[in-house]
Chain A
Amino acid sequence: MRKQGRFKISYNWTWTLASAVLALALWQISVTMFQLPPYVLPKPSAVWTALIAGLTASPSSRSSFWFQLADTLEGTLYGFLIAAALGISLAALMSEYRVVRRLLFPYVVWLQSLPKIAIAPLFVIWFGYATLSKVAMATTITLFPVLLNSLEGFAVVERDRLQLMKSLDASRWQTFWMIKLPSAMPFIFAGLNLGIVYALLGTLLAEFLGSQRGIGVVITQLESVSDTAGIFAILVVLAVVSYLLIAFMRALQQHFVFWSGSEQTVDVDVTPPRKRRRGRSGS
Protein backbone atom coordinates (compact mmCIF):
# COMPACT_ATOMS: atom_id res chain seq x y z
CA MET A 1 0.00 0.00 0.00
CA ARG A 2 1.46 3.34 -1.02
CA LYS A 3 1.32 5.91 1.71
CA GLN A 4 -1.05 8.75 1.04
CA GLY A 5 0.32 12.26 0.81
CA ARG A 6 3.88 11.17 0.08
CA PHE A 7 5.15 12.62 -3.18
CA LYS A 8 6.95 10.28 -5.52
CA ILE A 9 10.69 10.76 -5.61
CA SER A 10 11.54 9.99 -9.21
CA TYR A 11 12.34 11.89 -12.34
CA ASN A 12 12.00 11.77 -16.06
CA TRP A 13 14.80 12.17 -18.54
CA THR A 14 13.40 15.16 -20.42
CA TRP A 15 13.35 17.30 -17.31
CA THR A 16 16.72 16.03 -16.17
CA LEU A 17 18.22 17.04 -19.52
CA ALA A 18 16.53 20.44 -19.50
CA SER A 19 17.74 21.08 -15.99
CA ALA A 20 21.31 20.08 -16.89
CA VAL A 21 21.40 22.33 -19.96
CA LEU A 22 20.12 25.26 -17.90
CA ALA A 23 22.67 24.72 -15.12
CA LEU A 24 25.57 24.40 -17.58
CA ALA A 25 24.52 27.56 -19.39
CA LEU A 26 24.29 29.55 -16.14
CA TRP A 27 27.65 28.17 -15.07
CA GLN A 28 29.39 29.10 -18.34
CA ILE A 29 27.82 32.57 -18.36
CA SER A 30 28.71 33.38 -14.76
CA VAL A 31 32.33 32.27 -15.17
CA THR A 32 32.69 34.57 -18.19
CA MET A 33 30.73 37.44 -16.65
CA PHE A 34 32.46 37.56 -13.28
CA GLN A 35 35.84 36.60 -14.74
CA LEU A 36 36.44 33.95 -12.09
CA PRO A 37 39.97 32.50 -12.16
CA PRO A 38 40.00 28.86 -13.40
CA TYR A 39 41.33 27.52 -10.07
CA VAL A 40 38.19 28.81 -8.34
CA LEU A 41 35.64 27.78 -10.92
CA PRO A 42 36.69 26.40 -14.30
CA LYS A 43 34.51 26.72 -17.37
CA PRO A 44 32.33 23.70 -18.17
CA SER A 45 34.27 23.39 -21.39
CA ALA A 46 37.53 23.04 -19.46
CA VAL A 47 35.96 20.35 -17.29
CA TRP A 48 34.79 18.58 -20.42
CA THR A 49 38.30 18.68 -21.90
CA ALA A 50 39.79 17.28 -18.68
CA LEU A 51 37.13 14.57 -18.59
CA ILE A 52 37.79 13.49 -22.17
CA ALA A 53 41.56 13.54 -21.59
CA GLY A 54 41.17 11.34 -18.49
CA LEU A 55 38.84 8.91 -20.17
CA THR A 56 40.75 8.56 -23.44
CA ALA A 57 44.27 8.23 -22.02
CA SER A 58 45.76 4.76 -22.42
CA PRO A 59 44.21 2.56 -19.70
CA SER A 60 47.67 1.47 -18.57
CA SER A 61 48.89 5.04 -17.97
CA ARG A 62 48.54 6.72 -14.60
CA SER A 63 46.69 9.67 -16.15
CA SER A 64 43.86 7.39 -17.23
CA PHE A 65 40.74 7.58 -15.08
CA TRP A 66 40.05 3.92 -15.86
CA PHE A 67 43.41 2.89 -14.44
CA GLN A 68 42.75 4.74 -11.19
CA LEU A 69 39.09 3.79 -11.04
CA ALA A 70 39.92 0.08 -11.22
CA ASP A 71 41.88 0.43 -7.99
CA THR A 72 39.18 2.40 -6.23
CA LEU A 73 36.48 -0.03 -7.30
CA GLU A 74 38.56 -2.96 -6.11
CA GLY A 75 38.69 -1.49 -2.61
CA THR A 76 34.99 -0.58 -2.75
CA LEU A 77 33.78 -4.01 -3.85
CA TYR A 78 35.95 -6.04 -1.47
CA GLY A 79 35.05 -3.73 1.38
CA PHE A 80 31.38 -3.96 0.50
CA LEU A 81 31.34 -7.75 0.15
CA ILE A 82 33.20 -8.31 3.41
CA ALA A 83 30.99 -5.83 5.26
CA ALA A 84 27.83 -7.36 3.80
CA ALA A 85 28.81 -10.92 4.73
CA LEU A 86 30.04 -9.88 8.17
CA GLY A 87 27.13 -7.54 8.86
CA ILE A 88 24.40 -10.01 7.92
CA SER A 89 26.08 -12.93 9.73
CA LEU A 90 26.68 -10.94 12.90
CA ALA A 91 23.10 -9.66 12.84
CA ALA A 92 21.87 -13.25 12.38
CA LEU A 93 23.94 -14.53 15.31
CA MET A 94 22.91 -11.61 17.47
CA SER A 95 19.25 -12.18 16.72
CA GLU A 96 19.45 -15.94 17.29
CA TYR A 97 21.62 -16.06 20.42
CA ARG A 98 20.95 -13.81 23.36
CA VAL A 99 24.50 -14.27 24.67
CA VAL A 100 26.00 -13.02 21.43
CA ARG A 101 23.55 -10.13 21.39
CA ARG A 102 24.39 -9.10 24.94
CA LEU A 103 28.12 -9.40 24.36
CA LEU A 104 28.22 -7.50 21.08
CA PHE A 105 25.59 -4.87 21.54
CA PRO A 106 27.71 -2.48 23.63
CA TYR A 107 30.34 -2.45 20.88
CA VAL A 108 27.75 -1.87 18.22
CA VAL A 109 26.38 1.13 20.10
CA TRP A 110 29.85 2.47 20.84
CA LEU A 111 31.45 2.00 17.48
CA GLN A 112 28.39 3.20 15.67
CA SER A 113 28.53 6.54 17.45
CA LEU A 114 32.27 6.87 16.88
CA PRO A 115 33.14 8.93 13.79
CA LYS A 116 34.75 6.11 11.81
CA ILE A 117 36.79 8.57 9.74
CA ALA A 118 39.00 9.11 12.78
CA ILE A 119 40.10 5.47 12.63
CA ALA A 120 41.49 5.86 9.12
CA PRO A 121 45.01 6.96 10.13
CA LEU A 122 45.26 3.82 12.28
CA PHE A 123 44.52 1.64 9.27
CA VAL A 124 47.28 3.38 7.33
CA ILE A 125 49.69 2.54 10.17
CA TRP A 126 48.48 -1.06 10.40
CA PHE A 127 47.91 -1.96 6.78
CA GLY A 128 50.17 0.46 4.89
CA TYR A 129 49.53 2.31 1.67
CA ALA A 130 48.09 -0.58 -0.30
CA THR A 131 44.68 -2.02 -1.10
CA LEU A 132 44.34 -3.63 2.33
CA SER A 133 44.04 -0.25 4.00
CA LYS A 134 41.25 0.81 1.64
CA VAL A 135 39.37 -2.45 2.11
CA ALA A 136 39.65 -2.10 5.90
CA MET A 137 38.28 1.43 5.81
CA ALA A 138 35.48 0.60 3.38
CA THR A 139 34.52 -2.43 5.47
CA THR A 140 34.49 -0.45 8.70
CA ILE A 141 32.11 2.23 7.59
CA THR A 142 29.92 -0.09 5.52
CA LEU A 143 29.48 -2.61 8.31
CA PHE A 144 27.20 -0.54 10.51
CA PRO A 145 24.39 0.37 8.14
CA VAL A 146 24.27 -3.27 7.01
CA LEU A 147 24.44 -4.68 10.54
CA LEU A 148 21.87 -2.34 12.04
CA ASN A 149 19.37 -2.68 9.21
CA SER A 150 19.72 -6.47 9.23
CA LEU A 151 19.23 -6.56 13.00
CA GLU A 152 16.09 -4.51 12.60
CA GLY A 153 14.90 -6.84 9.85
CA PHE A 154 15.42 -9.96 11.97
CA ALA A 155 13.73 -8.27 14.93
CA VAL A 156 10.48 -7.37 13.18
CA VAL A 157 9.63 -10.72 11.58
CA GLU A 158 5.86 -11.22 11.77
CA ARG A 159 4.90 -13.24 14.83
CA ASP A 160 2.37 -15.28 12.84
CA ARG A 161 5.11 -16.65 10.62
CA LEU A 162 7.16 -17.69 13.64
CA GLN A 163 4.10 -19.34 15.22
CA LEU A 164 3.50 -21.27 12.03
CA MET A 165 7.04 -22.65 12.22
CA LYS A 166 6.59 -23.36 15.91
CA SER A 167 3.45 -25.37 15.14
CA LEU A 168 5.61 -27.50 12.84
CA ASP A 169 8.22 -27.92 15.56
CA ALA A 170 10.79 -26.41 13.17
CA SER A 171 14.39 -26.11 14.34
CA ARG A 172 15.99 -22.75 15.02
CA TRP A 173 17.89 -22.74 11.74
CA GLN A 174 14.97 -24.01 9.68
CA THR A 175 13.04 -21.03 10.97
CA PHE A 176 15.97 -18.79 10.22
CA TRP A 177 16.50 -19.87 6.61
CA MET A 178 12.85 -20.34 5.66
CA ILE A 179 11.29 -17.40 7.50
CA LYS A 180 13.57 -14.91 9.18
CA LEU A 181 16.13 -14.35 6.44
CA PRO A 182 13.61 -13.84 3.63
CA SER A 183 11.38 -11.72 5.89
CA ALA A 184 14.35 -9.49 6.73
CA MET A 185 15.40 -9.07 3.07
CA PRO A 186 13.74 -5.65 2.54
CA PHE A 187 15.65 -4.33 5.55
CA ILE A 188 18.90 -6.03 4.58
CA PHE A 189 18.67 -4.42 1.17
CA ALA A 190 18.00 -1.03 2.72
CA GLY A 191 21.31 -1.53 4.54
CA LEU A 192 23.14 -2.76 1.45
CA ASN A 193 21.90 0.17 -0.64
CA LEU A 194 23.40 2.57 1.88
CA GLY A 195 26.41 0.31 2.25
CA ILE A 196 27.50 0.39 -1.38
CA VAL A 197 27.78 4.19 -1.26
CA TYR A 198 29.56 4.04 2.10
CA ALA A 199 32.06 1.54 0.73
CA LEU A 200 33.02 3.94 -2.05
CA LEU A 201 33.29 6.72 0.53
CA GLY A 202 35.57 4.64 2.76
CA THR A 203 37.84 3.73 -0.11
CA LEU A 204 38.21 7.36 -1.23
CA LEU A 205 38.94 8.37 2.34
CA ALA A 206 41.75 5.83 2.62
CA GLU A 207 43.10 7.08 -0.68
CA PHE A 208 43.06 10.69 0.51
CA LEU A 209 45.06 9.77 3.58
CA GLY A 210 47.74 7.88 1.81
CA SER A 211 47.78 5.43 -1.01
CA GLN A 212 49.67 4.86 -4.21
CA ARG A 213 46.81 4.55 -6.65
CA GLY A 214 43.13 5.32 -6.93
CA ILE A 215 40.73 8.12 -7.68
CA GLY A 216 41.24 9.64 -4.23
CA VAL A 217 44.98 9.86 -4.88
CA VAL A 218 44.34 11.64 -8.18
CA ILE A 219 42.13 14.18 -6.44
CA THR A 220 44.84 15.04 -3.90
CA GLN A 221 47.41 15.33 -6.70
CA LEU A 222 45.16 17.62 -8.74
CA GLU A 223 44.49 19.67 -5.64
CA SER A 224 48.22 20.21 -5.06
CA VAL A 225 48.52 21.77 -8.53
CA SER A 226 45.18 23.62 -8.30
CA ASP A 227 43.78 21.75 -11.29
CA THR A 228 40.15 22.50 -10.42
CA ALA A 229 38.86 21.46 -13.85
CA GLY A 230 40.47 18.05 -13.33
CA ILE A 231 38.80 17.68 -9.93
CA PHE A 232 35.43 18.55 -11.44
CA ALA A 233 36.00 15.93 -14.13
CA ILE A 234 36.72 13.34 -11.43
CA LEU A 235 33.54 14.34 -9.60
CA VAL A 236 31.56 13.68 -12.76
CA VAL A 237 33.14 10.23 -13.00
CA LEU A 238 32.39 9.50 -9.33
CA ALA A 239 28.78 10.60 -9.70
CA VAL A 240 28.31 8.22 -12.62
CA VAL A 241 30.06 5.38 -10.82
CA SER A 242 28.04 5.68 -7.63
CA TYR A 243 24.85 6.02 -9.66
CA LEU A 244 25.66 2.76 -11.43
CA LEU A 245 26.48 1.03 -8.15
CA ILE A 246 23.15 2.09 -6.67
CA ALA A 247 21.29 1.07 -9.83
CA PHE A 248 22.95 -2.35 -9.67
CA MET A 249 21.86 -2.79 -6.05
CA ARG A 250 18.34 -1.73 -6.99
CA ALA A 251 18.22 -4.34 -9.71
CA LEU A 252 19.36 -7.00 -7.24
CA GLN A 253 16.74 -5.84 -4.78
CA GLN A 254 13.99 -5.98 -7.39
CA HIS A 255 15.07 -9.51 -8.15
CA PHE A 256 15.20 -10.80 -4.59
CA VAL A 257 12.52 -8.73 -2.88
CA PHE A 258 10.00 -8.53 -5.73
CA TRP A 259 7.29 -9.60 -3.30
CA SER A 260 7.69 -6.70 -0.90
CA GLY A 261 5.25 -3.94 -1.74
CA SER A 262 4.32 -2.85 1.74
CA GLU A 263 7.27 -3.61 3.97
CA GLN A 264 8.61 -0.42 5.52
CA THR A 265 12.25 0.27 4.84
CA VAL A 266 14.31 3.30 5.65
CA ASP A 267 16.07 4.37 2.47
CA VAL A 268 14.91 6.70 -0.25
CA ASP A 269 14.54 5.58 -3.82
CA VAL A 270 16.44 7.92 -6.12
CA THR A 271 16.79 5.70 -9.15
CA PRO A 272 14.37 6.10 -12.04
CA PRO A 273 11.23 3.97 -11.70
CA ARG A 274 11.62 0.61 -13.29
CA LYS A 275 9.07 -1.86 -14.45
CA ARG A 276 7.79 -3.78 -11.48
CA ARG A 277 8.53 -7.45 -11.44
CA ARG A 278 6.07 -10.29 -11.17
CA GLY A 279 3.92 -10.67 -8.14
CA ARG A 280 4.03 -7.11 -6.92
CA SER A 281 0.47 -5.97 -6.93
CA GLY A 282 -0.45 -2.58 -5.64
CA SER A 283 -2.69 -3.94 -2.91
Chain B
Amino acid sequence: MLTAVNERREAKNNSVARDPAVALLRTIDLTKSYITRSGDSLFALKATSLALEDGEFVSVVGPSGCGKSTLMMLIAGIIPRSEGEIIYRGHAVTRAQRGMGVVFQSPVLLPWSTVMENVLLPIRVLGGDRAAATARAEQLLSTVGLQGFEHKYPSELSGGMQQRVSIARSLIHDPGLLLMDEPFGALDALTRERMSLELQNIWLANRKTVFFITHSILEAVFLSDRVLVMSARPGCIIREFRIPFVRPRDFDLSTTKEFGAYVGEIRHLLGAKVDA
Protein backbone atom coordinates (compact mmCIF):
# COMPACT_ATOMS: atom_id res chain seq x y z
CA MET B 1 0.00 0.00 0.00
CA LEU B 2 2.82 2.34 0.86
CA THR B 3 4.49 1.64 -2.46
CA ALA B 4 1.29 2.67 -4.21
CA VAL B 5 1.35 5.94 -2.32
CA ASN B 6 4.99 6.39 -3.23
CA GLU B 7 4.32 5.73 -6.89
CA ARG B 8 1.54 8.25 -6.90
CA ARG B 9 3.85 10.76 -5.33
CA GLU B 10 6.56 9.97 -7.81
CA ALA B 11 4.11 10.59 -10.64
CA LYS B 12 3.25 13.89 -9.04
CA ASN B 13 6.93 14.69 -8.66
CA ASN B 14 7.51 14.16 -12.35
CA SER B 15 4.79 16.60 -13.24
CA VAL B 16 6.33 19.05 -10.82
CA ALA B 17 9.70 18.55 -12.42
CA ARG B 18 8.25 19.20 -15.86
CA ASP B 19 6.73 22.48 -14.72
CA PRO B 20 9.33 24.36 -12.70
CA ALA B 21 6.79 27.02 -11.76
CA VAL B 22 4.96 24.49 -9.57
CA ALA B 23 6.84 23.97 -6.33
CA LEU B 24 5.86 21.45 -3.64
CA LEU B 25 4.94 24.33 -1.38
CA ARG B 26 4.74 28.03 -1.93
CA THR B 27 3.77 30.86 0.36
CA ILE B 28 2.67 34.16 -1.10
CA ASP B 29 2.85 37.28 1.06
CA LEU B 30 2.18 35.17 4.13
CA THR B 31 1.46 37.47 7.06
CA LYS B 32 0.62 36.93 10.69
CA SER B 33 -0.37 39.89 12.80
CA TYR B 34 -1.84 40.27 16.23
CA ILE B 35 -3.92 43.10 17.58
CA THR B 36 -2.33 44.32 20.79
CA ARG B 37 -4.30 45.46 23.80
CA SER B 38 -3.80 49.09 22.82
CA GLY B 39 -5.33 48.34 19.43
CA ASP B 40 -2.17 48.37 17.29
CA SER B 41 -1.27 45.63 14.86
CA LEU B 42 1.82 43.68 15.75
CA PHE B 43 3.42 41.75 12.90
CA ALA B 44 4.90 38.40 13.83
CA LEU B 45 5.51 37.68 10.16
CA LYS B 46 5.22 40.12 7.29
CA ALA B 47 4.57 39.33 3.62
CA THR B 48 6.78 36.27 3.40
CA SER B 49 7.00 34.49 0.07
CA LEU B 50 9.03 31.34 -0.40
CA ALA B 51 9.01 28.15 -2.42
CA LEU B 52 10.12 24.65 -1.49
CA GLU B 53 11.07 22.29 -4.30
CA ASP B 54 10.35 18.61 -3.92
CA GLY B 55 13.15 16.77 -2.13
CA GLU B 56 14.88 19.93 -0.97
CA PHE B 57 16.34 20.55 2.48
CA VAL B 58 15.68 24.19 3.39
CA SER B 59 16.63 25.85 6.67
CA VAL B 60 15.47 29.09 8.18
CA VAL B 61 17.76 30.93 10.57
CA GLY B 62 17.05 34.13 12.41
CA PRO B 63 17.24 35.81 15.80
CA SER B 64 14.87 34.83 18.58
CA GLY B 65 11.40 36.21 18.06
CA CYS B 66 11.88 36.82 14.32
CA GLY B 67 8.80 34.78 13.50
CA LYS B 68 10.51 31.68 12.16
CA SER B 69 8.43 29.41 14.39
CA THR B 70 5.35 31.38 13.39
CA LEU B 71 6.21 30.71 9.76
CA MET B 72 6.35 26.98 10.41
CA MET B 73 3.13 26.98 12.45
CA LEU B 74 1.36 28.76 9.60
CA ILE B 75 2.58 26.28 7.00
CA ALA B 76 1.65 23.38 9.28
CA GLY B 77 -1.86 24.79 9.63
CA ILE B 78 -1.54 24.96 13.40
CA ILE B 79 -2.29 28.67 13.64
CA PRO B 80 -4.47 30.65 11.21
CA ARG B 81 -2.78 33.20 8.97
CA SER B 82 -3.81 36.84 8.79
CA GLU B 83 -3.10 37.41 5.12
CA GLY B 84 -1.47 35.74 2.14
CA GLU B 85 -1.67 32.28 0.66
CA ILE B 86 -0.18 28.84 1.14
CA ILE B 87 -0.11 26.63 -1.94
CA TYR B 88 0.67 22.96 -1.37
CA ARG B 89 0.99 20.67 -4.39
CA GLY B 90 -0.72 23.28 -6.51
CA HIS B 91 -3.72 23.80 -4.22
CA ALA B 92 -4.39 26.69 -1.89
CA VAL B 93 -4.73 25.24 1.59
CA THR B 94 -6.23 26.65 4.76
CA ARG B 95 -5.73 23.87 7.28
CA ALA B 96 -3.31 21.13 8.30
CA GLN B 97 -2.45 18.72 5.50
CA ARG B 98 -1.97 15.02 5.99
CA GLY B 99 0.98 15.19 3.62
CA MET B 100 2.98 17.07 6.22
CA GLY B 101 4.79 15.79 9.29
CA VAL B 102 5.78 18.10 12.15
CA VAL B 103 8.62 17.85 14.68
CA PHE B 104 8.44 20.35 17.52
CA GLN B 105 11.18 21.75 19.71
CA SER B 106 10.08 19.51 22.57
CA PRO B 107 9.31 15.88 21.68
CA VAL B 108 5.62 16.19 22.73
CA LEU B 109 5.28 12.49 23.46
CA LEU B 110 2.26 11.22 25.33
CA PRO B 111 3.54 9.97 28.69
CA TRP B 112 0.73 7.41 29.05
CA SER B 113 1.60 5.73 25.75
CA THR B 114 4.52 3.48 24.84
CA VAL B 115 7.08 4.48 22.23
CA MET B 116 5.27 2.34 19.64
CA GLU B 117 1.87 3.86 20.46
CA ASN B 118 3.37 7.32 20.24
CA VAL B 119 4.84 6.67 16.81
CA LEU B 120 1.47 5.30 15.64
CA LEU B 121 -0.50 8.34 16.85
CA PRO B 122 -0.79 9.94 13.37
CA ILE B 123 -2.17 6.65 12.01
CA ARG B 124 -4.77 6.57 14.80
CA VAL B 125 -5.82 10.09 13.85
CA LEU B 126 -5.59 9.85 10.07
CA GLY B 127 -6.69 6.26 9.74
CA GLY B 128 -4.92 3.57 7.77
CA ASP B 129 -3.75 -0.02 7.90
CA ARG B 130 -2.53 -0.57 11.44
CA ALA B 131 -0.57 -3.75 10.77
CA ALA B 132 1.34 -2.16 7.91
CA ALA B 133 1.89 0.95 10.01
CA THR B 134 3.25 -1.12 12.89
CA ALA B 135 5.77 -2.77 10.59
CA ARG B 136 6.73 0.63 9.24
CA ALA B 137 7.02 2.04 12.78
CA GLU B 138 9.44 -0.74 13.70
CA GLN B 139 11.50 0.09 10.65
CA LEU B 140 11.49 3.83 11.44
CA LEU B 141 12.46 3.19 15.05
CA SER B 142 15.43 1.14 13.95
CA THR B 143 16.37 3.92 11.49
CA VAL B 144 16.54 6.37 14.40
CA GLY B 145 18.44 3.84 16.51
CA LEU B 146 15.64 2.86 18.87
CA GLN B 147 15.15 -0.80 18.04
CA GLY B 148 14.02 -2.66 21.15
CA PHE B 149 12.52 0.42 22.80
CA GLU B 150 9.03 -0.08 21.33
CA HIS B 151 7.41 -0.93 24.64
CA LYS B 152 9.18 1.60 26.83
CA TYR B 153 7.44 4.70 28.12
CA PRO B 154 8.77 8.17 27.21
CA SER B 155 9.84 8.84 30.81
CA GLU B 156 12.30 5.96 30.50
CA LEU B 157 14.12 7.62 27.58
CA SER B 158 16.69 10.43 27.44
CA GLY B 159 15.86 13.75 25.78
CA GLY B 160 17.69 12.81 22.60
CA MET B 161 15.91 9.46 22.39
CA GLN B 162 12.55 11.13 22.94
CA GLN B 163 13.22 13.53 20.08
CA ARG B 164 14.11 10.58 17.85
CA VAL B 165 10.76 9.00 18.69
CA SER B 166 9.08 12.22 17.64
CA ILE B 167 11.01 12.19 14.33
CA ALA B 168 9.85 8.61 13.74
CA ARG B 169 6.28 9.74 14.55
CA SER B 170 6.52 12.60 12.05
CA LEU B 171 7.45 10.14 9.29
CA ILE B 172 4.98 7.34 10.04
CA HIS B 173 2.27 8.55 7.65
CA ASP B 174 4.86 9.02 4.88
CA PRO B 175 4.48 12.78 4.54
CA GLY B 176 5.92 14.56 1.51
CA LEU B 177 6.99 17.53 3.60
CA LEU B 178 8.69 17.43 6.98
CA LEU B 179 8.44 20.59 9.09
CA MET B 180 10.92 20.82 11.95
CA ASP B 181 10.84 23.62 14.50
CA GLU B 182 14.22 23.78 16.26
CA PRO B 183 14.04 20.04 16.84
CA PHE B 184 17.46 19.85 18.49
CA GLY B 185 17.14 23.09 20.43
CA ALA B 186 16.64 21.39 23.78
CA LEU B 187 19.53 18.95 23.41
CA ASP B 188 23.12 19.20 24.58
CA ALA B 189 25.83 20.08 22.03
CA LEU B 190 27.16 16.56 21.50
CA THR B 191 23.75 14.94 21.11
CA ARG B 192 22.88 17.78 18.79
CA GLU B 193 25.75 17.06 16.42
CA ARG B 194 24.94 13.38 16.37
CA MET B 195 21.29 14.12 15.67
CA SER B 196 22.30 16.38 12.76
CA LEU B 197 24.22 13.51 11.20
CA GLU B 198 21.31 11.15 11.74
CA LEU B 199 18.87 13.62 10.24
CA GLN B 200 21.12 13.86 7.19
CA ASN B 201 21.06 10.07 6.88
CA ILE B 202 17.29 9.93 7.22
CA TRP B 203 16.97 12.65 4.62
CA LEU B 204 19.39 10.90 2.24
CA ALA B 205 17.39 7.67 2.63
CA ASN B 206 13.95 9.24 2.11
CA ARG B 207 14.56 12.47 0.21
CA LYS B 208 11.57 14.10 1.84
CA THR B 209 11.34 17.82 1.51
CA VAL B 210 12.50 19.21 4.86
CA PHE B 211 11.72 22.68 6.16
CA PHE B 212 14.04 23.14 9.10
CA ILE B 213 13.82 26.00 11.59
CA THR B 214 16.91 26.59 13.71
CA HIS B 215 18.85 29.28 15.48
CA SER B 216 22.12 27.46 14.83
CA ILE B 217 23.80 28.83 11.70
CA LEU B 218 26.24 25.92 11.72
CA GLU B 219 23.42 23.37 11.76
CA ALA B 220 21.61 25.19 8.96
CA VAL B 221 24.65 25.36 6.66
CA PHE B 222 25.64 21.78 7.44
CA LEU B 223 22.25 20.27 6.63
CA SER B 224 20.75 22.42 3.91
CA ASP B 225 20.50 22.90 0.18
CA ARG B 226 19.31 26.42 0.88
CA VAL B 227 19.41 28.63 3.96
CA LEU B 228 16.85 31.40 4.34
CA VAL B 229 17.87 34.22 6.67
CA MET B 230 15.14 36.07 8.54
CA SER B 231 15.18 39.41 10.28
CA ALA B 232 13.11 40.35 13.30
CA ARG B 233 10.26 42.82 13.70
CA PRO B 234 8.62 42.53 11.35
CA GLY B 235 9.74 39.00 10.55
CA CYS B 236 10.60 38.51 6.91
CA ILE B 237 13.17 36.71 4.78
CA ILE B 238 16.06 39.01 3.94
CA ARG B 239 18.40 36.70 2.07
CA GLU B 240 18.84 33.26 0.66
CA PHE B 241 22.01 31.17 0.43
CA ARG B 242 22.51 28.11 -1.74
CA ILE B 243 24.83 25.64 -0.03
CA PRO B 244 26.63 23.60 -2.69
CA PHE B 245 28.59 21.00 -0.66
CA VAL B 246 28.17 17.40 -1.77
CA ARG B 247 26.56 14.85 0.49
CA PRO B 248 26.98 12.97 2.68
CA ARG B 249 28.60 15.78 4.61
CA ASP B 250 30.56 15.19 7.82
CA PHE B 251 31.73 17.51 10.53
CA ASP B 252 35.22 17.84 9.02
CA LEU B 253 33.46 19.96 6.45
CA SER B 254 32.61 22.51 9.11
CA THR B 255 36.32 23.26 9.62
CA THR B 256 36.88 24.14 5.94
CA LYS B 257 37.31 27.68 4.74
CA GLU B 258 34.38 27.50 2.31
CA PHE B 259 32.01 26.30 5.01
CA GLY B 260 33.30 29.01 7.35
CA ALA B 261 32.68 31.64 4.71
CA TYR B 262 28.95 30.80 4.57
CA VAL B 263 28.65 30.69 8.34
CA GLY B 264 30.54 33.97 8.65
CA GLU B 265 28.45 35.77 6.09
CA ILE B 266 25.16 34.64 7.62
CA ARG B 267 26.38 35.53 11.11
CA HIS B 268 27.45 38.94 9.88
CA LEU B 269 24.05 39.46 8.25
CA LEU B 270 22.21 38.52 11.44
CA GLY B 271 24.59 40.51 13.62
CA ALA B 272 24.16 43.63 11.51
CA LYS B 273 20.42 43.22 11.74
CA VAL B 274 20.47 42.73 15.48
CA ASP B 275 22.57 45.86 15.96
CA ALA B 276 20.36 47.98 13.73
Q: Which positions in A face B, CB cutoff 8 Å? A: 158, 160-161, 163-170, 174, 178-179, 182, 185, 257-261, 278-281, 283
Q: Number of residue pairs across A and B with beta carbons under 8 Å?
A: 67
Across chains A and B, which 8 residue pairs bring their CB atoms closest together, nearest first? A279-B153, A169-B96, A259-B111, A167-B102, A160-B108, A168-B125, A259-B112, A170-B125
B112 touching A167, Cβ below 8 Å: no
Asked whether A168 lies within 8 Å of B155 as measured between CB atoms, the reply is no
Which residues of B171-204 are within 8 A (CB) of A?
A: 179
**Interface contact B110-A167, CB-CB below 8 Å:** no
Q: How far is the CA of A257 from the CA of B110 in the complex (A)?
A: 12
Asked if A161 and B110 sit within 8 Å, CB to CB, the answer is yes
Contacting pair A169 B110 (CB below 8 A): no
B155's contact among A161, A169, A257, A283, by CB below 8 Å, is which?
A283
Of the candidates A168, A169, A278, the one having the most CB atoms from chain B within 10 angstroms of its own CB is A168
List A contacts of B125 (CB < 8 A). 165, 168-170, 174, 178
B106 CB-CB contact with A under 8 Å:
yes
Q: B106 to chain A: which residues have CB within 8 Å?
A: 160
Number of residues in B with C-beta < 8 Å to the partner? 25
- Known pairs A164-B104, A259-B112. 17 more at Cβ < 8 A? A158-B108, A163-B78, A164-B102, A164-B108, A165-B125, A166-B78, A167-B76, A168-B121, A168-B125, A169-B97, A169-B126, A178-B124, A182-B110, A259-B153, A279-B111, A279-B156, A281-B155
Q: Which residue of A lies closest to B169 (CB)?
A: A164
Does B100 sit within 8 A of A, measured CB to CB?
yes
A185 to B113, CA, bound (A): 14
B122 at the interface (CB under 8 A from A): yes
Distance (whole angstroms) from the CB of A178 to the closest CB of chain B: 7
**Chain A positions within 8 Å of B104 at CB level:** 160, 163-164
Within 8 Å by CB of A167, from B78, B153, B155, lies: B78
* CB-CB under 8 A for A261 and B155, given A161-B108, A164-B104, A169-B97: yes
Q: A279 — nearest CB in chain B belongs to which residue?
A: B153
Q: What B residues does A259 contact at CB under 8 A?
A: 111-112, 153, 155
Report the separation of the CA atoms of residues A115 and B106 in the bound assembly, to the nearest whole angstrom.
Answer: 45
Give CA–CA (A178, B110) in the complex, Å: 9
Cα-based distance from A164 to B112 in the complex (angstroms): 16
By beta carbon, the residue of chain B nearest A179 is B110
**In the complex, residue of chain A having the shortest beta-carbon distance to the beta carbon of B114:** A279
